[in-house]
Structure 1
Amino acid sequence: MKINIKKLNPNAVLPRRATEGSAGCDLHACISEPVVIRAGETVKIPTGLAIELPSNELVALVFARSGLGIKHNITPANCVGVIDSDYRGEIIVGLQNSSQVDFTIEPNDRIAQLVITPVVPVEFTEVDQLGETGRAAGGFGSTGK
């Protein structure tokens, strides 16, 4: 599948898969100097890129990079960023530092990964009753540990 992408900054790095089996394409920090994310702080990091999804049956999702998340507690502030098919602005990644130490993002660092996935457009129908299941309203650990 081809996705149109526009560099909003000439220094932006186009997303690419690190390996042939990678599900996500790496997004890079498009910054001119290092940015320090202080412990407990959230910052917005630009990528210098905008995309055009060809259909409202696609969405671009911004996920954490496992190395940043597991090793340094640097994760997307909103857990998963959603880029709708009609959005044409810059992809900006809000990164949160949930560690006890400051962390520095360097220019062109890989900061997140972008996954394009299908969306099923739905229409909701209000009803008075839902079908019954064995689980019913059980949640939040109701099926055991």
Structure 2
Amino acid sequence: MKEIKLAIKRLEHARDLPLPRYMTEGSAGMDLYAAVEETLVLEPGEIKLIPTGVAIELPPGYEAQIRPRSGLALKYGISFVNTPGTIDADYRGEIGLIMINFGNRPFTINRGDRVAQMVINEIVKAHITEAEILTETERNAGGFGHTGK
């Protein structure tokens, strides 16, 4: 497993919250905490921006992906509108979570709740070349569901 240095800045409004961390030795993602000032309720179908109270400094060539926590998704239908969300290496602002409640009952978010996970990935940049013809494959232009159920 490759390791990199990740600088994390705890913002002033989150001094009492833990820094993101891996909850087990084998975790791919580190948990992020809700830095809400007061308890808030996410109604069914509602979208809200949830602050995390942290900003990061990724090395060039890396991104952070923000993903839902599987337990919240299964038990309550909580996810993110832009999942996975991408934090670029040159972004230095607070990480915000665009949460949505796909469930059928209100979901309460308390200060310090673990509400997301952040996974660090290495990035490959593509060199773009325009082409008149693309090589053929067995699938070719077969789209959604082209191989059956």
Tell me which amino acid in the other structure corresponds to 2:76: H
TM-score norm. by structure 2 comes to 0.93
Shift in Å at residue 33 of structure 1?
Answer: 1.5
**Structure 1, gaps ≥5 residues long:** none
Give the equivalent residue in structure 2 for 1:133.
137
Give the equivalent residue in structure 1 for 2:20.
15
Give the equivalent residue in structure 2 for 1:59.
63
1:32 counterpart SS class: coil
Shift in Å at residue 100 of structure 1?
Answer: 1.7
Give structure 1 regions of 4+ aligned residues with deviation exceeding 4 angstroms: none
Does residue 81 (structure 1) correspond to residue 85 (structure 2)? The answer is: yes
Give the equivalent residue in structure 2 for 1:5.
8
Mapped contact 1:12–1:49 kept (Cα < 8 A): no
TM-score norm. by structure 1 comes to 0.96
Tell me which amino acid in the other structure corresponds to 1:124: I
Out of 39, 44, 53, the position equivalent to 1:48 is 53
Tell me which amino acid in the other structure corresponds to 1:67: G
Shift in Å at residue 6 of structure 1?
Answer: 0.5
Give the equivalent residue in structure 2 for 1:36.
41
**Structure 2, gaps ≥5 residues long:** none
**In structure 2, distance between residues paired with 1:11 and 1:82:** 26
Percent of residue pairs identical: 49
Does residue 123 (structure 1) correspond to residue 121 (structure 2)? The answer is: no
